[in-house]
Amino acid sequence: MTATAVTAPVSQVLRGPATIADLLSGRPMDEAAKLLQAEQDGRTIVYVGLGTCGLASGGMDIWNKLEELNRSGRIAVTLKKTGCIGYCQHEVMVDVKKPGRPRVSFGSVTLPRLEKIVSSYLEKDELPRDLVLGISESYPSGPDFEIPGDWAGVPRFKDLPYFKKQLRIVLGNCGTLDPDSLDEYLARGGYRALAKALRMPRKQVVAEVTASGLRGRGGGGFPTGKKWEFAFSQDNPQKYIVMNADEGDPGAFMDRSVLEGDPHRIIEGMAIGGYAIGATRGYIYVRAEYPLAIEKLNRAIAHCREVGLLGKDILGSGVEFDLTLKMGAGAFVCGEETALIASIEGKRGMPKPRPPFPAVSGLFGKPTVINNVETFANVPDILWRGASWFAGIGTGRSKGTKVFALTGKVKLSGLIEVPMGITLREIIFDVGGGILNDGTFKAAQIGGPSGGCLPTSLLETAIDYDSLISAGAMMGSGGLVVMDDKTCMVDVARFFINFTRSESCGKCIPCREGIARLQEMLDKIVQAPESEKGNMTLERFKAVIDLRHTCETIRDTAACGLGQTAPNPILSTLRYFKDEYEAHIYDRHCPAGKCKSLLTFRVQPEACKGCGLCKKKCPNGAIVGELKHSHYIVKDKCVRCGVCQEVCPFKAITVS
Amino acid sequence: MNHPCACQTTLPSTPPPAELAAILERFPSQKREYLIPILQVTQEKFKFLSRDAMIHIAQHVGVPVSKVYGVATFYNQFKLNPPGKHTIQVCRGTACHVRGSDQLLRSFESELGVAPGQTTKDGLFTLDIVACLGSCSIAPVVTVDGTFHGRLENKDAGKLVAEIRKGEGQ
């Protein structure tokens, strides 16, 4: 949405209802591209990254300041909002496209830095090189734009280490496209794939997806084409297609970025899926915690209805397809297909035993296909560029790319998309730039609460569904959290068990009771020994005797995916980091120094100046001492909160 | 009135208050499919789901109150008690955990004297935890009334709370 336009039509190139022939002719794409080009030739355009991470880093302040500068007449630019390009470490990102110049990206923009960009680049055409991240691809001039002579040495985005090994299909438009503009999506060939699909028999669309080898990106990796086939072969006048955008995995935000940055891609993918299986209605089940994604989707859906891309007669083909947005109310288990269905139906989100599979009897008892956001986002390109193109990317049984939210103790955290088969080492050290503060790599947690931790020895593991499963992790939805030597693996396992325990729906006993027992065991071994009397010691040693057995029982007997995979964080850490469990149990020692209860806090008498600050701040009155005299910590009273160490101005408190 | 079961006596004879009636009107009645959206809109309006509101909603949707209560307690989004004036949400995603959000949460707990999900006695603060805010690159993250604060250290908890208290004239 431009700052000047108030009530612009939904699309300047689609006059009246869109048709298949028109879209396939390429006319809307060319015209939209020409419009964009004309816009860029005439005026400077400033793009502000206003995805959630951009907003969180203060993007709105930058946006408001730019608007204010525009109003005051100091600058005269067109302002555009974009989604997230995935280079989260450098938010807020501001891109500037001047006529005759390539689009250039500035990173970590704050108000003072913005002032510098305005005064030197916008007003004087001098590039403040220290703020430049690189030259980003600008549409429609294409990727092979010329770099002007006086800009020698400014890198192209695609040559930056962070982007070099990425292959962006799903995220292709994220961060460079205005998600509110249908024309911008059309300029990139949007909705051609839907037009092409509508000319094909339904069965052939399903066959194309099957042939591409696309597998579900939500976690399990079930072949998408097969799922569609099941639903397609059901003889039922009413079928549904559902998009699972209930991204509940802590540490993952891939889906959100696609929803916010490129909503039309998902609508197109769903419409193709709906046509393929014969569904007239689609549901988008999206987390209520993603208000921005909901806003973008609502707007995109409204635009599509207006030009006949959704509705009773899409693209004049006689095919009906429309979308309804449903907001999830915050329950991790609703990522499970049958629980998600229950939630849409207005019930508690509890899984049901399968069969019957949703493809046979799903939402309201009708055949239903449920796919993840990223899965649908792949569909338009598969249809347009062909199954063999897609099948040419990746490894034997894992095709295409995968989006990961790369976070944790890594230098460059953000959203990345890499071809299947890339190694963990390449992701962490080449794309991610290595470990934060030049620390030592310890493990990578992949797959969230259902996944596992992979140690250094598995850094060469190729990322695909099957090798991750055999390594004890799983693809999951795409959370990839890097851990260094200051991370305690028992603590990580405990963190995930805590999470799955509170998110267990409580329907089946192995999950409800078993995970609670696991948590008790883990809690015991990270706690300070209160006494050696009674059963304390025995309780701690339960972890030695029972932990693995309980995990295996839950894995084998729980009713749904959440329960079956819940023990994975423990099983994988037991497999690769057994020594850490042993150190906690036998030596009462946390090698990473993370489990506070196992630590001993001491005042170093020679360093203590007796200021009394720690005594004042100690929540349990465990510190004694006179002013100006060295203090002392009473071990039995100390709750190991670490406050004293934080507040001590003389660094006199040590931990062992 | 000495009923062992209270369900007969709690059915309101009065129609729902105008604001709630306006919400209910927007949704077709007797359709369970709309239960969660109704609860969401109601909570958005009233900030929490009161007992009376749930009874009215149950009548509108055509299910027993127990079912409405069941749904309201199942999902994390729904609150059955009025929240404080300011809501502090501490992100407990994996990335935030690895960068120390557990300690940060504890700092907020001791600063406010409440556990997650609770509201301070003066009604000023509600402390909440959230699974993931998706701003992992600036972990650990906390939102105060929807405004993000990233890359926090333990001592920042006290500062943030003090700032709000100051704003409230305390």
pLDDT at A3 over 60: no
User: What is the rounded distance in angstroms from the CA atom of residue B22 to the CA atom of residue B72?
Assistant: 20
pLDDT of residue A201: 97
Q: Residue A100 — pLDDT band, cuts 50, 70, 90?
A: confident
- A143 — pLDDT class (breaks 50, 70, 90): low
Separation CA B23–CA B82 (nearest Å): 19
Is the pLDDT assigned to residue A543 strictly greater than 50?
yes
Which stretches does DSSP call E strand in A246-376? Answer: 281-287, 311-314, 319-328, 368-372
Whether residue A275 contacts residue A198, with contact meaning beta carbons closer than 8 Å, is answered with yes
Q: Report the residue of A88, A91, A253, A364 to disrupt the B interface, i.e. the one with the largest count of B CBs within 10 Å.
A: A253
Average pLDDT over residues A229-245: 95
Residues of A with CB below 8 A from B132's CB?
248-253
| Mean pLDDT on A497-523 | 93
More confident residue, A336 or A643: A336
pLDDT for A2 beyond 60: no
CA separation, residue A184 to residues A174, A176, A466, A588, B148 (Å): 12, 10, 38, 60, 30
Task: Please state which of the four CATH numbers 3.40.50.880, 3.40.50.10700, 2.60.40.10, 3.40.30.10 is assigned to the domain occupying A22-164.
Answer: 3.40.30.10
**A595: which DSSP letter?**
-
Domain-terminating residue out of B74, B98, B125: B74
Residue A623 identity (one-letter amino acid): I
Measured CA to CA, the distance from residue A484 to residue A438 in angstroms comes to 10
Contact between chains at A481 and B95 (C-beta distance less than 8 A): yes
CA distance A620 to A468: 46
Q: Does the pLDDT value for residue A329 go beyond 60?
A: yes
Nearest to A329 among B34, B78, B154 (CB): B78
Give the model's pLDDT for residue A8: 67
Same domain, B32 and B62: yes
- Element (H or E) spanning A192, and its range? helix A192-199
Is residue A192 pLDDT above 90, yes or no? yes
| pLDDT value for A417 | 95
Q: Do B98 and A483 touch (CB under 8 A)?
A: yes
Looking at the predicted structure, is the pLDDT value of residue A492 above 80?
yes
Phi, psi angle pair for A462, to nearest 5°: -80, 140
Q: Of B30, B51, B74, which residue sits at a domain end? A: B74
Predicted confidence band at A4 (pLDDT cuts at 50, 70, 90)?
very low
Question: B138 and A641: CB-CB below 8 Å?
Answer: no
Q: How far is B98 from chain A (nearest CA, A)?
A: 6
The domain segmentation of chain A, as residue ranges, is 22-164, 214-381, 401-487, 490-586, 599-655
ipTM of predicted complex: 0.88
Query: Distances from the Cα of A138 to the Cαs of A547, B37, B101, in angstroms?
Result: 54, 40, 38
Instruction: Tell me if A289 and B130 make a contact (CB, 8 A cut-off).
Output: yes
pLDDT, one tens digit per residue, over A568-583 is: 999 999 999 999 999 9
pLDDT band for A182, please (50, 70, 90 cuts): very high
Average pLDDT, chain A: 90
The reported pLDDT for the residue numbered B11 is 61
Report how far residue A454's alpha carbon sits from residue A444's, in angstroms, rounded to the nearest whole number. 5
Interatomic CA distance for residues A248 and A480, integer angstroms: 14
Which chain B residue is nearest to residue A84, measuring alpha carbons? B135
Shared domain check, B92 and B58? no
CATH label of the domain that carries residue B106? 3.40.30.10
Total number of domains constituting chain B? 2
Both B145 and B102 in a single domain?
yes
Read off the pLDDT of residues A365-383 as tens digits, 9 standing for 90 and up: 999 999 999 999 999 999 9
pLDDT score of B3: 45
Residues B51 and B91 in one domain: no
Select the residue of B32, B74, B136 nearest A251 (Cβ to Cβ).
Answer: B136
- B81 lies in a domain? no
Asked whether residue B141 is assigned to any structural domain, the reply reads: yes
When CB atoms are compared, the residue of B71, B93, B136 closest to A347 is B71
List the single best residue of A60, A325, A347, A453 to mutate versus B (max B Cβ within 10 A): A347
On average, the pLDDT of chain B sits at 88
Alpha-carbon span B148 to A292, nearest angstrom:
14
Query: Which pLDDT score is estimated for B13?
Result: 63
Percent of chain A topping pLDDT 90: 61
Mean pLDDT of A32-52: 89
A314 Cα distance to chain centroid = 31
pLDDT at A374: 95
Q: What average pLDDT does range A12-37 have in this prediction?
A: 90
| Identity of the residue numbered A642 | G
Reported as a single tens digit per residue, the pLDDT across B38-78 is: 999 999 999 999 999 999 999 999 999 999 999 999 998 89
Six token digits for residue A77: 């630019």
> Which residue is listed with tokens 């008790």?
A520
pLDDT tens per residue, range B25-40: 999 999 999 999 999 9
Supply the range of the domain harboring residue B28.
7-74
User: Which amino acid is residue A515, in one-letter code?
Assistant: I
For residue A85, pLDDT beyond 90? no
Contact B134 A52 (CB under 8 A): yes
Question: How is chain B split among helix, strand and coil, in percent rounded to 5?
Answer: 50, 10, 40
pLDDT level of residue A319 (50, 70, 90 thresholds): very high
CATH of the domain at B23: 1.10.10
pLDDT tens sequence across B83-95? 999 999 999 888 8
> Would residue B2 count as lying in a domain?
no
**Cβ separation B148–A57 shorter than 8 A:** yes
pLDDT per position as a tens digit, A444-474: 999 888 899 999 999 999 999 999 989 988 8
The residue ranking higher by pLDDT, A382 or B139, is A382
Cβ contacts below 8 Å, chain A against chain B, sum to 138
Length of chain A as a residue count: 656
- Residues B95 and B66 grouped into a single domain: no
Q: Is residue B12 part of a domain?
A: yes
Percentage above 70 pLDDT, chain B: 92
Tell me the chain A residues in contact with residue B102 when contact means C-beta distances shorter than 8 Å.
495
Task: Confirm if A46 and A94 have CB atoms less than 8 A apart.
Answer: yes
Residue B12 has pLDDT above 80, yes or no: no
Q: Look at residue A288 and tell me whether its pLDDT is greater than 90.
A: no
Identify the burial level of A446 via C-beta atoms within 10 angstroms of its C-beta, where 0-12 means exposed, 13-18 middle and 19 or more buried. Answer: buried
3-state secondary structure A90-117: HCCCEEEECCCCCCEEECCCCHHHHHHH
The CATH number for A401-487, chosen from 3.40.640.10, 3.10.20.600, 3.90.1150.10, 3.30.1330.30, is: 3.10.20.600
Fold for A490-586, please state it: de novo design (two linked rop proteins) (1.20.1440)
Nearest chain A residue to B37, by CA: A327
Q: Which CATH superfamily is domain A214-381 in?
A: NADH-ubiquinone oxidoreductase 51kDa subunit (3.40.50.11540)
Q: Is residue B124 part of a domain?
A: yes
**Do A11 and A186 touch, CB atoms closer than 8 A?**
yes
Please tell me the class of the A599-655 domain: alpha beta
Res. A588: pLDDT tops 90? no
| pLDDT at position A149 | 80
Residues B103-131 have pLDDT tens digits of: 899 889 988 999 998 999 999 999 999 88
Statement: residue A142 has pLDDT above 70: no
Contact state of B37 with A495 under an 8 Å Cβ cutoff: no
CA-angle at A373, arms to A368 and A377, nearest 5°: 105
DSSP A325: E
- The more confident residue out of A51 and A96 is A96
Q: Are A481 and B98 an interchain contact pair (Cβ–Cβ within 8 Å)?
A: yes
Asked if B131 and A499 come within 8 Å (Cβ–Cβ), the reply is yes
**Cβ–Cβ of B94/A91 closer than 8 Å?**
no
Q: In the prediction, which pLDDT does A290 show?
A: 85
Query: Stretch A478-495: mean pLDDT, rounded?
Result: 92
pLDDT value of position A220: 79
Chain B, nearest residue to A347 by Cα: B71
Token pair of A133, please? 């991240």
Residue B79: inside a domain: no
Which residue among A288, A479, A481 sits closest to B40, beta carbon to beta carbon? Answer: A288
Sequence-distant (6+) residues with CB within 8 A of A88 are A53, A413, A414, A415, B135, B136, B137, B138
Looking at the fold, whether B68 and B93 belong to one and the same domain comes out as no
Residues B104 and B141 in one domain: yes
Do B41 and B93 lie in a common domain? no
The answer to whether the Cβ–Cβ distance between A250 and B131 falls below 8 Å is: yes
Cβ-defined contact of A349 to B61 (cutoff 8 Å): no
Q: Is residue A128 scored above 80 in pLDDT? A: yes
A346/B61 CB distance under 8 A: yes
Per-residue model confidence as pLDDT tens digits over A382-395? 999 999 999 999 99
Say yes or no for a CB contact (<8 Å) between B37 and A330: no
Q: How many CA atoms lie within 13 A of A624 on its CB side?
A: 4
Q: Choose among A250, A256, A348: nearest Cβ to B92.
A: A250
Return the pLDDT at A5.
43
C-alpha of A648 from chain center: 38
Residues B67 and B90 in one domain: no
Residue A651 burial by CB count (10 A; 0-12/13-18/19+): exposed, middle or buried? exposed
B53: distance to nearest CA of chain A, Å? Answer: 17
CB contacts of B78 in chain A (<8 Å) are 329
Nearest CA in chain B to A53: B135
Same domain as B123, residue B52: no
Of A88, A247, A330, the CB nearest to B137: A88
Whether residue A355 is preceded by a cis peptide bond, meaning omega within 30 degrees of 0, is yes
Q: Does the pLDDT value for residue A325 go beyond 90?
A: yes
pLDDT at A418 over 90: yes
| pLDDT (0 to 100) of residue B85 | 93
What value does the mean pLDDT take over residues A575-602?
88
How far off is chain A from B49, nearest CA to CA, in Å?
14
Q: What are the tens digits of pLDDT across the range A50-62? A: 888 888 888 999 9
**pLDDT band at residue A151, thresholds of 50, 70 and 90?**
confident
Residue B116 included in any domain:
yes
Determine which helix (DSSP H) or strand (DSSP E) holds A375, and give its type and residue range.
helix A373-385
How much is the CA Rg of chain A, to the nearest whole Å?
27
Does some domain include residue B45?
yes
Percentage above 70 pLDDT, chain A = 97
How far apart are the C-alpha atoms of A437 and A409, rounded to whole Å? 8
The count of residues in chain B is 170
pLDDT at A304: 95
Residues 6+ apart with CB under 8 A from B40: A288, A327, A329, B77
